[in-house]
Amino acid sequence: MGRTLLILLLGFSASFGILAFSRDRRTVESVDRMVSRYSNYSAKNTSASGAYIALNKLFVDQTWRGPYNSIFLGNDSISVSVVDTAPNRISIVAEGHNPNLKDSTQAMVFDGVFNEFAVWAKDSVVNVTTMDSLNNTNLALLMEDAPYMPEINKAGLISEATAQNNVEIGNFNPPNGYPNGSFYYFLTTPNVTHVTGDLFVQNNRTIYGIYIVEGDVNIQSDGLVRGVLYLPNAASEVHHGGSGSEFGRVNGGIVTWGTIDGDAYNIQVRHWPSYLHALVSNYVTNNPPMRVIAWK
């Protein structure tokens, strides 16, 4: 009995020793994992903070291009590079460093607003010529496959068109000079017309104001829109609608979720800042000078 009890006691002692060793090893491994995970999160958070710092500096000063380097917290440090990669596009690369790990955050910023362009299209643009307000050809005023679409107050436009009695149900073929021979309804308030179908601008006719068009826009030879065309539907198209040597023309701007195609002819769009400003000041409350269009 005594020998058996001694063997049992020795067995228990060995088992507890093994368990204690195993527990200590798991504790060490757990601490190692926790430290590694903290270092990873810390580096990632630091790099993200660096990107936010760069964005803030850009919003304060659009000409700022860095670089930026700083100790962020404890042993974490930030390094940021800011580079113009294409017209109106700024690349931000922020790295977070600590003694164990390095992580990076990348952001792409669009530098500019939609009303600085004669054409702003979410989809494709074909056979269109853009010009500045002095009538000089400037293809940089054309934005195809736009990186974002502006938040235009469609309900506000429709409400104003209703108040002005300029709501056209179905397809609309306005007379020359529609609606009153001017872009403006009264003082600085623009004319607004809501067309629930297609809009036709016939040969040698000139129409005025802001047009919100649910269907297509057909501009025939030497037809002219003095104002802004806004097409909020992706299925809509702006196109040249007839034969002849003259262009379809827009003096103002086009903002569309759909396509623009001058067909076998051409549509000329002349940037007219005051008309686009009238749209922005009345119906676009959120139009920041920069937007983040990619983040990873």
Split at pLDDT 50, 70, 90, the class of 236 is: very high
pTM for the full model?
0.82
Counting other chains too, the contacts that 20-26 makes at CB distance below 8 Å and 24 or more residues apart are: none
Whether residue 278 sits in one domain with residue 141: yes
Q: What is the pLDDT of residues 129-143, one digit of tens each?
A: 999 999 999 999 999
Q: Which of 78, 111, 144 is the last residue of a domain?
A: 111
Is 10 part of any domain?
no
Instruction: Quick: pLDDT tens for 201-230.
Output: 999 999 999 999 999 999 998 899 999 999
The residue out of 56, 76, 111 marking a domain boundary is: 111
What's the average model confidence in pLDDT over 186-209? 96
- pLDDT band, very low/low/confident/very high, at 124 (cuts 50, 70, 90): very high
| The pLDDT of residue 101 is above 70 | yes
In a domain, residue 22? The reply is no
When pLDDT is averaged across residues 257-272 and rounded to a whole number, the result is 93
pLDDT at 156: 98
Whether 176 is covered by a domain: the verdict is yes
Q: What band does 75 get if pLDDT is binned at 50, 70 and 90?
A: confident
Q: Domain range for residue 66? A: 33-111
Same-domain check for residues 141 and 256: yes
273 and 196 in one domain? yes
So what's the pLDDT on residue 244?
Answer: 60
Q: Are residues 187 and 260 in the same domain?
A: yes
Number of domain units in the chain: 2
Q: Are residue 71 and residue 194 in the same domain, yes or no?
A: no
* Strongest mean pLDDT among 40-44, 190-194, 221-225: 190-194
Task: State whether 94 and 137 are in the same domain.
Answer: no
Q: What integer pLDDT is reported at residue 243 of this predicted model?
A: 63
Does residue 12 lie within any of the structural domains?
Answer: no
Q: Are residues 121 and 232 in the same domain?
A: yes
Question: pLDDT-based confidence at 73, cuts 50/70/90?
Answer: low
**Which of 71, 94, 111 is where one domain is finished?**
111
Flag whether pLDDT at 12 surpasses 50.
no
Residue 132 and residue 249 in one domain: yes
Whether residue 163 is found in the same domain as residue 66: no
Whether the pLDDT of residue 249 is over 70: the answer is: yes
> Do 278 and 141 sit in the same domain of this protein?
yes
Q: Residue 202 in contact with residue 218, Cβ under 8 Å?
A: no
pLDDT, average across residues 231-235? 98
Which range of 55-69, 96-110, 248-262 scores highest in mean pLDDT? It is 248-262
In a domain, 18, yes or no: no
Residue 26 has pLDDT above 50, yes or no: no
Query: How many angstroms separate the CA atoms of 61 and 7, rounded?
Result: 80
- Tens digit of each residue's pLDDT (9 = 90 or more) over 150-185: 999 999 999 999 999 999 999 999 999 999 999 999
Q: 56 and 126 share a domain?
A: no
210 and 223: one domain? Answer: yes
